[in-house]
Structure 1
Amino acid sequence: MPLGTLDRSAPTLFKHGPSPLSRLALYSALALFLMVADARFHVTEPLRKAVATVLYPLQWLMLQPVELAGRGAQYFQSLQAAQQGADEAQKQMARMSVRAGEADQLLRENAELRQLLELRARLDTPGQAAQVVYDTADPYTRRVMLDRGRLAGIAPGSPVVDAGGVLGQVTRVYPMLSEVTLVVDRDQAIPVLNLRTGARSVAYGDPMAGLGGGMELRFTPGNADVQEGDMLTTSGVDGVYPPGLPVARVVRVERRADSTFARIFCTPLAQVYGARHVMVLKPIANELPPRPEPEATLQKRGVRQ
């Protein structure tokens, strides 16, 4: 084929369309037109709504993990805050309960101390205040330990009273502590006086009476004038207890035909269980006049002289 007859134009496959600059100008103009038309006439609003409607289920489905994660975090944060609030409320309640208990204890102690001061003002016998430290470990006795001992001037045999009445008697004295045998102990006995009748008798401790122990008037005739509710005080004839201290109150009187003596049960007026503040008095033995000597002794001395 001669060279002059060859077609030097590019084949159809390699033909190029509009230039990139032309396409950019065309699309920019089209975009500007659509923007103006949408701003003025809202041309694309139906299309936008249709696309949003179609895409809403997909958007909702894709947002669910995010919302679940946020709800879970909020739930755990709320649960943690509620737990912390509950713990703080329990701690606050515990602190308030402790403060309320301390306030009640202080009120009771103040009331006991006031009563002790009033009792001390009525007594002529010198004494000193003490505090119950603990109960003794022996389950067969009714004794307590005080925080005052020989160094504080406590002597064996000293009477111990609280705001209600006679609590017991000092039986052992240590340098820093002293042991008090309560009036409900089985080895304790107190001469008492019936305020209503003026009759004297002896009240013995009865640890088995009632729940906390009591007292009993023994060797009292069956026809003795003793009634329930009679007030018993110390008679002062033993040289230990000052006269007039409240001791017990009669709660039951049993008279039997087969017995010469009546059984008279009493309840102590002192707080034998739970006493905290007490007063230790000095025995009145040193204040009593000496006993007169028997006539036989005086006659012997006269013969010798």
Structure 2
Amino acid sequence: MPPGTLERTAPSLFRHGPSPRARLLLYAALALFLMVADARFRVTEPLRNAVATVLYPLQWLMLQPVQFISQGAERLQSLEQAQHERDSAQQALVQLAQRAGQAEQLLSENTQLRELLALRERITTPARAAQVLYDTPDAYTRRVVVDQGQLAGVAPGSPVMDARGVLGQVTRVHPALSEVTLLIDRDQAIPVLNVRTGARSVAYGDPVAAHGGGMELRFTPGNTDVQEGDLLATSGIDGVYPPGLPVARVVHVERRADSTFARIYCEPLAQMQGARHVMLLEPVAAALPELPPPEPAAGQKKRVQSTPAAEAAAKGGRR
């Protein structure tokens, strides 16, 4: 047998290592020694730091998906919360706008009511307050409906005015409602008096005028002293409107050589569109006391109606 082929290692029969129990005891003693040494002398601290430094990139890389998912969930939650807060803020703004509009409307109504009350103090004619409900659906007339009617004692022909001036006249009365024809209606007319000159005239409604309707003084001679800016008030000669109520103001005077009468356009002082609170006055004729019957003149005998009893008494007396 060649010398290089001889096995130089010990046979398996002579290769006996420590037994498993001995290894367990050895490893347990080593672990206990390392634990005590680490607790007392911190001999494994450099090794732990080195291992942590080596494993940190791997830990960071493994934590990125978790952090990404967590941050995405937080962002979605914050976005939903922001949207909810935005919706709540918009609702609060809408409510504040509604309250502001209501407050402004109440302030305007309060101002109008105060003006009406002050106007009521200046007017001696009996009156009652009313509220405008809506405009009539008829497109060819200019009328509004108020919430006072026959049950409240409203009579046809009652003048209607707001805090600025005469608004119109009650033309139809229902049990709980009344229709008011505005002064700018084409069939409405009102006797007026020029406050500056004292000249009397009649103002007619002109629904096709600018700014939603106006009035016109018709059949006025061209040489009449009328100027732009003149104030027109009720004359009181019709027995309906009390005298001195403001009606309109002259805005344009047109005199033409080919016409005998002047074209005088007026603008009503009352709020013809959008009026909410008005005052219903009693007609002047209804407020006047009834005149007693005329007494016979002195020396004039009263005529006595003849009756059958009186004729019989007269015949008996003659006998």
Place the TM-score, normalised by the shorter chain, in its bin.
0.7 to 0.9
Moved more, 193-202 or 257-266: 257-266
Shift in Å, 1:29: 2.7
Q: Cα 1:26–1:124, aligned 2, differ >3 Å: closer, same or farther?
A: same
Which TM-score applies when normalising by structure 2? 0.82
Residue 89 (structure 1) aligned with residue 89 (structure 2): yes
- Cα displacement string for residues 265-285 of structure 1 (whole angstroms, at most 9, x for unaligned residues): 111111110111111111112
2:300 alignment partner in structure 1: none
Q: Tell me, in whole angstroms, the C-alpha distance in 2 between the residues paired with 1:138 and 1:93.
A: 39
2:256 alignment partner in structure 1: 256
Q: Cα 1:287–1:41, aligned 2, differ >3 Å: closer, same or farther?
A: closer
1:129 alignment partner in structure 2: 129
- Cα displacement string for residues 158-194 of structure 1 (whole angstroms, at most 9, x for unaligned residues): 1001111100000011111110000111111110011
Q: Cα 1:25–1:199, aligned 2, differ >3 Å: closer, same or farther?
A: same
Q: Cα 1:30–1:261, aligned 2, differ >3 Å: closer, same or farther?
A: same
Q: Cα 1:72–1:13, aligned 2, differ >3 Å: closer, same or farther?
A: farther
Check the 8 A contact 1:239/1:288 in 2, yes or no: no
Q: Does the residue aligned with 1:163 lie in a helix, a strand or coil?
A: coil
Q: Tell me, in whole angstroms, the C-alpha distance in 2 between the residues paired with 1:158 and 1:13.
A: 139
Q: Tell me, in whole angstroms, the C-alpha distance in 2 between the residues paired with 1:200 and 1:13.
A: 151
2:147 alignment partner in structure 1: 147
Shift in Å, 1:254: 1.5
1:100-139 to structure 2, matched below 5 A, reads: 100-139=100-139
Query: Aligned letter for 1:69?
Result: I
Q: Does the residue aligned with 1:83 lie in a helix, a strand or coil?
A: helix
Check the 8 A contact 1:113/1:277 in 2, yes or no: yes
1:201-240 to structure 2, matched below 5 A, reads: 201-240=201-240
Which TM-score applies when normalising by structure 1? 0.86
Q: Cα 1:129–1:114, aligned 2, differ >3 Å: closer, same or farther?
A: same
2:8 alignment partner in structure 1: none
Residue 24 (structure 1) aligned with residue 17 (structure 2): no
Shift in Å, 1:287: 4.4
Q: Tell me, in whole angstroms, the C-alpha distance in 2 between the residues paired with 1:280 and 1:25.
A: 117
Moved more, 253-262 or 77-86: 253-262
2:194 alignment partner in structure 1: 194
Q: Which runs of 5+ in 2 are unaligned?
A: 1-10, 295-319
Shift in Å, 1:223: 1.7
2:178 alignment partner in structure 1: 178
Moved more, 38-47 or 248-257: 38-47
Query: Aligned letter for 1:49?
Result: N
Q: Does the residue aligned with 1:279 lie in a helix, a strand or coil?
A: strand
Check the 8 A contact 2:234/2:246 in 1, yes or no: yes
Q: Does the residue aligned with 2:204 lie in a helix, a strand or coil?
A: strand
Query: Aligned letter for 2:232?
Result: L
Q: Tell me, in whole angstroms, the C-alpha distance in 2 between the residues paired with 1:29 and 1:288.
A: 130
1:300 alignment partner in structure 2: none
Check the 8 A contact 2:148/2:176 in 1, yes or no: yes
Q: Does the residue aligned with 2:139 lie in a helix, a strand or coil?
A: coil
Shift in Å, 1:259: 1.8
Check the 8 A contact 2:125/2:287 in 1, yes or no: no
1:301 alignment partner in structure 2: none
Q: Does the residue aligned with 1:248 lie in a helix, a strand or coil?
A: strand
Q: Does the residue aligned with 2:85 lie in a helix, a strand or coil?
A: helix
- Cα displacement string for residues 192-219 of structure 1 (whole angstroms, at most 9, x for unaligned residues): 0111111111111111111211111111
- Cα displacement string for residues 31-76 of structure 1 (whole angstroms, at most 9, x for unaligned residues): 2333444455554344333322332222122111111111111011
Check the 8 A contact 1:193/1:234 in 2, yes or no: yes
The number of equivalent residue pairs is 281
Q: Tell me, in whole angstroms, the C-alpha distance in 2 between the residues paired with 1:276 and 1:227.
A: 32
- Cα displacement string for residues 102-158 of structure 1 (whole angstroms, at most 9, x for unaligned residues): 111111111111111111111111011111111000111110001111111111111
Query: Aligned letter for 1:187?
Result: D
Aligned CA-pair RMSD? 2.1
Q: Tell me, in whole angstroms, the C-alpha distance in 1 between the residues paired with 2:151 and 2:214.
A: 32
Q: Cα 1:29–1:228, aligned 2, differ >3 Å: closer, same or farther?
A: same
Shift in Å, 1:14: 10
Q: Tell me, in whole angstroms, the C-alpha distance in 2 between the residues paired with 1:181 and 1:56.
A: 92
Q: Cα 1:151–1:13, aligned 2, differ >3 Å: closer, same or farther?
A: farther
Q: Tell me, in whole angstroms, the C-alpha distance in 1 between the residues paired with 2:287 and 2:129.
A: 21
